[in-house]
């Protein structure tokens, strides 16, 4: 393990249309094989669908969805002696946001049927209303952490 100090966190720029840091992070996660323009196009179409269906600012809807899907704790496997324990750990805000975005996009990709734009808009709307697969994943993680609370003494 290096004894040098940790590198400074790189600051990502804001997205060009809504001037939001969160949207830029979501688009980077949505992007596949370096096709950022395609990711922006899909995401902005999903934002338009959200705006049409809710008649509200889509940025606030997406921020609410990410906030609802952000976990407070996570589970990490820790090997002690010969057995492996599932240890609950508190989540830092940046990591929680990253997990929420990852869960939302994973649930979009796992759904079959419609195009990605409609799946994106539907999942963000569901997450903003505390429904959907990302919220289910969050509650599963919280239940696992609660069940393994006894192993919290093995924190890293």
Query: What percent of the chain lies above the pLDDT cut of 70?
Result: 99
Query: 110-153: per-residue pLDDT in tens?
Result: 998 889 999 999 999 999 999 999 999 999 999 999 999 998 88
Compute the average pLDDT of residues 51-60: 94
Q: Which domains does the chain have, with CATH numbers?
A: 21-154 (1.10.455.10)
Predicted confidence band of residue 14 (pLDDT cuts 50, 70, 90): confident
Specify the pLDDT at position 7. Answer: 85
Residue 1: predicted pLDDT: 63
Contact 123, 104 (CB under 8 A): yes
More confident residue, 134 or 9: 134
Angstrom CA distances, 125 to 19, 36, 58, 65, 132, stand at 21, 23, 9, 7, 9
| Ramachandran angles phi, psi of 57, nearest 5° | -65, 120
- Provide the β-strand partners of residue 79: 84
- pTM of the full predicted structure? 0.90
- Rounded CA-CA distance 58/121 in Å is 10
Rounded Cα distance between 122 and 114, Å, is: 11
- Residue 63 pLDDT class (50, 70, 90 cuts): very high
């Amino acid at each position: 393990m290096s004894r040098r100090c940790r590198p400074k966190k790189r600051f990502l720029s804001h997205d060009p249309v809504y001037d939001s840091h969160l949207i830029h992070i979501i688009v980077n996660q949505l992007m596949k094989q370096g096709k950022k323009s395609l990711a922006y196009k899909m995401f902005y179409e999903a934002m338009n669908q959200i705006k049409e269906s809710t008649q509200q600012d889509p940025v606030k809807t997406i921020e609410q969805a990410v906030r609802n899907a952000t976990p407070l704790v996570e589970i990490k496997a820790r090997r002690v002696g010969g057995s492996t324990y599932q240890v609950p750990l508190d989540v830092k805000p940046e990591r929680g946001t990253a997990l929420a975005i990852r869960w939302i996009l994973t649930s979009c990709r796992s759904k079959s049927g419609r195009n990605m734009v409609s799946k994106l808009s539907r999942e963000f709307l569901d997450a903003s209303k505390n429904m959907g697969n990302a919220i289910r994943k969050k509650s599963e993680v919280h239940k696992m952490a609660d069940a393994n609370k006894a192993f919290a003494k093995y924190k890293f």
